[in-house]
Amino acid sequence: MQRLTIIIICIIFVFLWGCVKKPIIKPEPVPPVVEDTGEEPSARFIDWQSIPELKTINFDFDKSDLSQYACKILSGNAQYLKSHQELDIIVEGHCDERGSSEYNLALGQHRASIVREYYGKLGIKLSRIATISYGEEKPVDSMSREDAWAKNRRAETKIRLKK
């Protein structure tokens, strides 16, 4: 009987020992690592400039494909960019306010990448062209109506002197 009591006490002790909560240690947040692959000029910490010679293109709702009109505008932009080899280029992708922030950042990046690829097909070295997405964060028109949203669905080409 004494043996059974000792076994039961041991089982209860083991059971209770397993139920003890361990302190939760939250890991410190790790700052994101940004790699510069050398494929694109760095877009960080530099003021990029808009100039009248480089036109903005717009996109249809939830689309990233280039219309014939957008291709015509980009061809004009490419002519200017090819004649100014001293410039680095950034393509900014933008969206309207509809959709989640994460979705809009991804769509804006896809739009910027499509424009970058098109510039490459027009003869501009891809190593000169960086891309960035601002999603819905930098609207040109902050009204919540269709004409404003249409203005905000865009890709802008900006430049700076090469470093």
Q: What is the pLDDT of residues 113-157, one digit of tens each?
A: 999 999 999 999 999 999 999 999 999 999 999 999 999 999 999
High-pLDDT (> 90) share of the chain, %: 70
pLDDT of 162: 87
**75 belongs to a structural domain:** yes
Assign residue 111 the CATH number of its domain.
3.30.1330.60
pLDDT of 77: 98
Residue 59 has pLDDT above 80, yes or no: yes
CB 157 within 8 A of CB 89: yes
Most confident of 9-13, 25-29, 79-83: 79-83
pLDDT of 2: 75
d(CA 127, CA 42): 10
CB 150 within 8 A of CB 62: no
**78 belongs to a structural domain:** yes
Containing 158, the helix (H) or strand (E) segment is strand 154-161
Residue 41 has pLDDT above 70, yes or no: no
pLDDT of 35: 42
pLDDT of 13: 66
**69 belongs to a structural domain:** yes
**107 belongs to a structural domain:** yes
**77 belongs to a structural domain:** yes
Residue 91 has pLDDT above 80, yes or no: yes
d(CA 131, CA 37): 13
**125 belongs to a structural domain:** yes
Number of domains, the chain: 1
Q: How far is CA 153 from the centre of its chain?
A: 14
Average pLDDT of the residues of the chain = 85
pLDDT band at 7 (very low <50, low <70, confident <90, very high): confident
In angstroms, the Cα distances linking 149 to 74, 89, 144 are 21, 25, 7
Q: Which domain holds residue 88?
A: 57-161
Side-chain half-sphere CA neighbours of 64 within 13 A? 22
